[in-house]
Chains A and B, each alone.
Chain A
Amino acid sequence: MATRAVIGGAGITPATSPRKQTSSSLELIQEAVWGALQHSGAAPDSLDGIVIGNIDGFEGTVLGAKHLVRRLGLGTELPVSILNTGGTTGGNLVQVAARQVRAGDRRRVLVIGGPTFFGAQDLQSAINTNSPMIVEQPLGMGAYHMGAFYPSAYTERFGATVEDYAVSAVQDHEHASRNPYAHLRNTMTVDEVVGAKPLSYPLTMAMVCPVSTSANALLVCAEGTTSDLRPTPVLIKAFATSSDPYLGGGKNDFAAMENLAILAQKVYQLADVRDPREEIDVVEVFSPYAPMQPMQLEALGFAPPGGGIDLIRSGATRIDGDVPVNLSGGPLCTNAGVAGELAPLVYVALQLMGDAPEAMQVPGARRGLAHGTGGTFFQFENLAILERT
């Protein structure tokens, strides 16, 4: 039987705005790396690989990841893999590390997600460079506009209101208030979310993620090689990705996350999950725009089509509910680029280890789901099922 990959440690730095951040990217990454090593108990010389990512152009360099690794203080011999898949980079870091371990090529790989939204003076214009050139970029389509197309179609099919789209934002903020690492830790009411500055119909400023700075790191190890590590290892039970066409206009249906639903079927089959609501104890989805979250929960099988908002309203997705969602506060409250994309995997791993910050720990969580997505219209999805061993 092939080697399985487990997560053996995690490091997180507290998040803040670029304006308040006094550390450099390198310093934040060093803090996350050394945090992960300390959490795991792994000796630096036990590592045999690094997987790190960046997003071209977002940091005023296309060498972001490459020039950092030699300055981490982990020696000069570690092989480095560099990923650059935009909004899915963070999730793909773990996928690649897990594949290296499962292939038998590496035994202990450090995964590093840095603060890649750190530098751009106008992040919207930087993100707009990732929009398909020639046919979509000249149309004033940047990033938050893309998050607005979904609710316009969802409203047409299911009759959801702007107030409905606010519920996941309210809940994310409530959860973030319990997370010491979150960037926005204020609580909000539905009225405050709806009444915030209009951004792109039907999104208000409070339904859109902040620009954060933080770094995250995860240690991915071969199963059975973690006896020197302190945390309970968390098995990467299943991990897969799926893509829609590159052009936003290639998506078939904006009222449903069809691509994610297809991916979920595949991943649930790999992980032998038959009833996700019954069998999954903790969920982190990547919903930087509040209306995405209920739609993602539908695609993941936690609610029927059109039922995602009712699911959140029922309290099932709160910390004391049967399927807690985004106890970290999610990207709506902390989004630091590649670090933010890696965060769902970091938080779910910590939950399953029992090492999440006390105020947000789900007692006895055994199986978790971590999701990531990117592309200007979220054409690209990644999804993992993690299990406490």
Chain B
Amino acid sequence: MTTTQRVHWDLTYDVHLGATWGRFMAGLTEQQILANSCPECSRTFVPPQAYCESCFVRTDEWIELPAEGVVEAFTVAWQGFRGGPTPPYAIAGIRLDGASTLLMHYVGGLDLDDPSAVREQIGPGTRVRAVWAQERTGQILDITHFEKI
């Protein structure tokens, strides 16, 4: 007895970025990583956000952060998923210099063949720098990945 039947969804969406992320994406096309900060707690957000989630006030000042920072958390994926990148690949939470939040991104240029050797390559504390795409269209992958400095 068959107890399953297959259903398929094929839908395309437009996500409306709004002013704050729109400005962030525009910055990426100019090879700039734009952040903004809270007037009360002075924390600096990247990606930027319109409100501070701690102080419940509008953010105001915009600043450009250096495209360099430190890995605080990471993983290397050895198994992929449908629609995802081809494994293995490394992803990390990166504290850009001057940022109060982590920016998630790929870390490239690593030898990922040996699982026991990845930690020494991109363990927390590793300094990394953004590598820019040749063609930039205003998306997070305008930075193709970060690489070790």
Chain B residues, Cβ within 8 Å of A254: 72-73, 93
Bound Cα distance A165, B102 (Å)? 24
Whether, in the assembled complex, A141 has its beta carbon less than 8 Å from a beta carbon of chain B, the answer is: yes
Bound Cα distance A153, B93 (Å)? 10
Which chain A residues in 230-255 approach chain B with CB under 8 Å? 245, 247-251, 254
B91-103 interface code vs A (CB 8 A; 1 in, 0 out): 1010000000111
Q: Does B124 contact A139, Cβ atoms closer than 8 Å?
A: no
Bound Cα distance A57, B91 (Å)? 25
Chain B residues, Cβ within 8 Å of A121: 6, 82
Contact residues on B (Cβ < 8 Å of other chain), bracket: 35 or more
Q: Does A249 contact B17, Cβ atoms closer than 8 Å?
A: no
Given A124-B81, A134-B15, A134-B17, A198–B140 Cβ distance below 8 Å? no
Q: Does A199 contact B47, Cβ atoms closer than 8 Å?
A: no
Bound Cα distance A269, B89 (Å)? 44
Q: Does B119 contact A201, Cβ atoms closer than 8 Å?
A: yes
User: Of all chain B residues, which has the CB nearest A140?
Assistant: B85
Bound Cα distance A249, B45 (Å)? 9
Report the minimum CB–CB distance from A279 to chain B (whole Å): 32
Chain B residues, Cβ within 8 Å of A251: 93, 102
Report the minimum CB–CB distance from B21 to chain A (whole Å): 7
Chain B residues, Cβ within 8 Å of A122: 81-82
Identify which of A46-54, A91-99, A143-151, A363-371 touches chain B. A143-151
Q: Does A248 contact B93, Cβ atoms closer than 8 Å?
A: yes
11 pairs, CB–CB < 8 Å, chain A vs chain B: A24-B3, A125-B82, A125-B84, A128-B81, A134-B15, A150-B73, A152-B124, A201-B78, A203-B75, A247-B104, A249-B93
6 tightest Cβ-Cβ pairs between the two chains A and B: A148-B75, A124-B81, A249-B102, A254-B73, A156-B124, A140-B85
